[in-house]
């Protein structure tokens, strides 16, 4: 059977491996301790935060069908949030999300979907791949210490675009397309409180400032009770402040959160920050996955389409479908 290495076990890599797993021997390498990538959840003493993707929508029939068994099993559910839009003059719009345009979350955390998808796969965790050496049909992977991670016929990267160029051999014919793809960063500020907050909403899209999103994460279904507020910076602010200290970023985002909501959040009993170096790619036109059949190399990920959970799914499925006749 053809041996395929997938670098990265975010949604695109997991979907790819599940879709093509009957036709090839697939091993995934993931640098983190768990899988799911940017569909991430962090817990701390009674608080719980989805510090990457907040929710996702399903516009395509294929993603809707894929989600059906997950919805039945309760791994994914609808989040009918009280949603507001906030601009410079305060709240400018309000609505309650409902079944007409469903907004989904993983249960009990956003990482649940990845966990289920990874259950039956061959995944090597805690293993950042540093180099791909060799030639088409005989690729060898190495980790940061130069350890040999095995030989493979094909290598598929499912990492953010900014990391593809550093990993892929120069022979990869789609490098130009990857390099043109920007993925601005984002900060996620996690605040835990000993008491409920007096906010009239669960989720807020914030415009024109350092902050782009605030959600009361314990309002999502199936969460722990601890009052958990998740604040995301805007991509522009993150890019301008990417090399600042955590202390600076936390203090700025706290001040801004209090200003936007009109409440003092300095009483938070838990404060943590996560820096996403590569967070949200813009829209990209072209193939949903980049496959070089001569070199037996491929690159997938949300950035092939757009920074959305659904796009990561579509990219993984597209590559699996096109590679089926090649492996």
Ligand X SMILES: Cc1cc2nc3c(=O)[nH]c(=O)nc-3n(C[C@H](O)[C@H](O)[C@H](O)COP(=O)(O)OP(=O)(O)OC[C@H]3O[C@@H](n4cnc5c(N)ncnc54)[C@H](O)[C@@H]3O)c2cc1C
Residues near ligand X (CB under 6 A) are: 7-13, 29-32, 37-39, 52-56, 128-129, 158-160, 163, 167, 186, 188, 232, 276, 279-280, 301-302, 307-309, 311-312
Instruction: Give residues with Cβ within 8 angstroms of 287, minimum separation 6.
Output: 304, 318
Q: Closest CB to ligand X among 223 and 308?
A: 308
Q: Measured from the CB of residue 192, what is the shortest distance to ligand X in angstroms?
A: 18
Q: Closest CB to ligand X among 267 and 277?
A: 277
Q: Measured from the CB of residue 35, what is the shortest distance to ligand X in angstroms?
A: 6
Say whether the peptide bond before residue 108 is cis (omega within 30 degrees of 0).
Answer: yes
Q: Closest CB to ligand X among 110 and 260?
A: 110
Contact status, residue 94 vs residue 82, Cβ threshold 8 Å: yes
Q: Measured from the CB of residue 65, what is the shortest distance to ligand X in angstroms?
A: 18
Q: Closest CB to ligand X among 14 and 254?
A: 14
Q: Measured from the CB of residue 313, what is the shortest distance to ligand X in angstroms?
A: 8
Q: End-to-end CA distance of the chain, in Å?
A: 8
Tokens 């600042």 sit on residue = 244
Cα gap 149→188, rounded to integer Å: 33
Strands (E), the chain: 3-7, 25-29, 42-44, 47-49, 76-78, 82-87, 90-96, 104-106, 122-124, 129-135, 138-143, 148-152, 154-157, 186-193, 203-206, 211-216, 227-233, 270-276, 290-292, 297-299
Q: Closest CB to ligand X among 226 and 301?
A: 301
Cα gap 224→48, rounded to integer Å: 7
SS3 state at 56: strand
Q: Measured from the CB of residue 311, what is the shortest distance to ligand X in angstroms?
A: 6
Q: Closest CB to ligand X among 102 and 301?
A: 301
Q: Measured from the CB of residue 19, what is the shortest distance to ligand X in angstroms?
A: 13
């Amino acid at each position: 059977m053809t041996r395929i290495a997938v670098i990265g076990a975010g949604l695109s890599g997991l979907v790819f491996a599940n879709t093509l797993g009957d036709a090839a021997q697939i091993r995934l390498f993931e640098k983190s301790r768990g899988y799911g990538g940017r569909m991430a959840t962090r817990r701390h003493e009674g608080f719980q935060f989805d510090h990457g993707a907040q929710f996702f929508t399903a516009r395509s029939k294929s993603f809707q069908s894929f989600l059906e068994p997950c919805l039945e099993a309760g791994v994914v559910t609808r989040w009918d949030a009280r949603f507001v839009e906030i601009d410079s003059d305060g709240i400018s719009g309000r609505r309650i999300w409902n079944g007409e345009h469903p907004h989904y979350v993983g249960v009990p955390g956003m990482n649940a979907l990845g966990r289920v998808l990874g259950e039956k796969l061959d995944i090597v965790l805690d293993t950042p791949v540093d180099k791909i050496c060799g030639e088409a049909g005989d690729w060898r992977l190495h980790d940061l210490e130069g350890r040999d991670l095995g030989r493979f016929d094909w290598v598929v990267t499912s990492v953010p675009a900014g990391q593809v160029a550093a990993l892929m051999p120069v022979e990869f014919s789609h490098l130009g397309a990857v390099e043109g793809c920007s993925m601005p960063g984002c900060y996620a500020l996690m605040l835990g409180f000993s008491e409920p907050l007096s906010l009239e909403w669960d989720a807020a899209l914030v415009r024109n400032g350092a902050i782009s999103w605030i959600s009361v994460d314990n309002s999502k279904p199936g969460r722990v009770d601890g009052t958990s507020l998740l604040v995301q910076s805007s991509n522009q602010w993150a890019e301008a402040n990417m090399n600042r200290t955590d202390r600076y970023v936390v203090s700025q985002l706290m001040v801004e959160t209090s200003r936007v909501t009109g409440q003092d959040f300095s009483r938070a009993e838990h404060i943590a920050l996560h820096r996403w170096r590569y967070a949200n790619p813009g829209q990209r036109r072209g193939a949903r996955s980049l496959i070089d059949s001569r070199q037996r190399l491929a690159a997938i990920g949300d950035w092939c389409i757009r920074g959305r959970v659904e796009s990561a799914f579509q990219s993984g499925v597209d590559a699996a479908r096109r590679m089926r006749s090649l492996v």
